[in-house]
Amino acid sequence: MEPLIEARSLGKVFPMGGGPVHALRDISVQIAAGEYLTIRGPSGCGKSTLLHILGCVDTPSSGTLRFDGRDVSALPDHARSDLRLRSIGFVFQRFFLLPMLTAAENVDVPQAEAGVSRADRKRRTAELLDYVGLGHRAGHRPSQLSGGEAQRVAIARALANRPRLLLADEPTGELDRANGEHIAELLDRVQADGTTVVVVTHDAALAERAGRRLVMRDGLIEREEHAR
Ligand X SMILES: Nc1ncnc2c1ncn2[C@@H]1O[C@H](COP(=O)(O)OP(=O)(O)O)[C@@H](O)[C@H]1O
Q: Which residues pair with 133 in a beta bridge?
A: none
- According to DSSP, residue 56 is labeled T
Residue 44 in the binding site for ligand X (CB under 6 A): yes
- Closest Cα partner for 103 from 150, 161, 46? 150
Residues 6+ apart with CB under 8 A from 99: 141, 142, 143
Considering CB distances under 5 to 8 angstroms, the limit depending on partner class, which of Mg ion, other proteins, ligand X, none binds residue 165?
none
Applying CB under 5 A, the span of 2-10, 18-26, 47-55, 185-193 interacting with Mg ion comes to 47-55
What is the crossing angle of helices 118-131 and 147-158, to 10°? 140
Give the binding-site size for ligand X (rule: CB under 6 A): 11
Residue 48 in the binding site for ligand X (CB under 6 A): yes
Element at 211 (helix H, strand E)? none
Residue 204 in the binding site for other proteins (CB under 8 A): no
Considering CB distances under 5 to 8 angstroms, the limit depending on partner class, which of other proteins, ligand X, Mg ion, none binds residue 43?
ligand X
Residue 172 in the binding site for ligand X (CB under 6 A): no
- According to DSSP, residue 68 is labeled T
Residue 16 in the binding site for ligand X (CB under 6 A): yes
CA distance 132 to 154: 10
Applying CB under 6 A, the span of 2-10, 46-54, 95-103, 128-136 interacting with ligand X comes to 46-54
- Applying CB under 8 A, among 97, 116, 155, 190 the residue interacting with other proteins is 97
Give the footprint of Mg ion on this chain (CB under 5 A).
48
